[in-house]
């Protein structure tokens, strides 16, 4: 038996997953029955959220309490502005050296040394 080295190529699986999602989306949004099904699905999800509203509020309270506890232990960073001196004397880099290059003639309007322009 041959051994596969490295990771297997999953491009076909990714393509098929994307194709499946695309087909389902087209069926849900492109047909009348699909739109009705999508509305029912969204309505049932919202009913589930309304039933668990107290659970979500309790989780929100716990998170806000935890954030306030952690925030009391963290000191804010000292702000420094970029135009303030840092104590180091940094000088800008020197300019690039001057070179005398001949001007290049564009070659995209010529062919064989002859101009293509009228």
Q: What is the pLDDT of residue 76?
A: 67
Q: Within a domain: residue 47?
A: yes
Q: Within a domain: residue 64?
A: yes
Instruction: Please state the φ and ψ torsions of residue 75, each to the nearest 5 degrees.
Output: -90, 140
Tell the burial category of 103 from Cβ atoms under 10 Å away from its Cβ (0-12, 13-18, 19+).
exposed
Q: Within a domain: residue 48?
A: yes
Q: Within a domain: residue 62?
A: yes
Show the domain range for 46. 15-70
Mean pLDDT of 80-94: 70
> Which pTM does this prediction carry?
0.32
Greater model confidence, 1 or 8: 8
Query: Looking at the 3D structure of the chain, how many domains does it have?
Result: 1
Tell the burial category of 95 from Cβ atoms under 10 Å away from its Cβ (0-12, 13-18, 19+).
exposed
Q: What is the pLDDT of residue 20?
A: 92
Q: What is the pLDDT of residue 19?
A: 92
Helix locations, the chain, DSSP H:
11-30, 32-51, 53-73
> 107 pLDDT exceeds 80?
no
> 39 pLDDT exceeds 60?
yes
Q: Within a domain: residue 95?
A: no
Query: DSSP label at 103?
Result: P
Q: Within a domain: residue 7?
A: no
């Amino acid at each position: 038996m041959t051994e596969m080295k490295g990771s297997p190529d999953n491009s076909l699986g990714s393509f098929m997953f994307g194709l499946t999602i695309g087909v389902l989306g087209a069926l849900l949004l492109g047909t009348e029955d699909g739109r009705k099904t999508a509305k029912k699905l969204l309505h049932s999800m919202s009913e589930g959220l309304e039933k668990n509203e107290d659970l979500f509020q309790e989780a929100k309270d716990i998170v806000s309490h935890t954030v306030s506890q952690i925030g009391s232990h963290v000191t804010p960073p000292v702000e420094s502005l970029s135009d303030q001196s840092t104590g180091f004397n940094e000088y800008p880099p020197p300019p690039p050296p001057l070179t005398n290059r001949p001007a290049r003639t564009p070659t995209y309007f010529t062919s064989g040394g002859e101009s293509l322009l009228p």
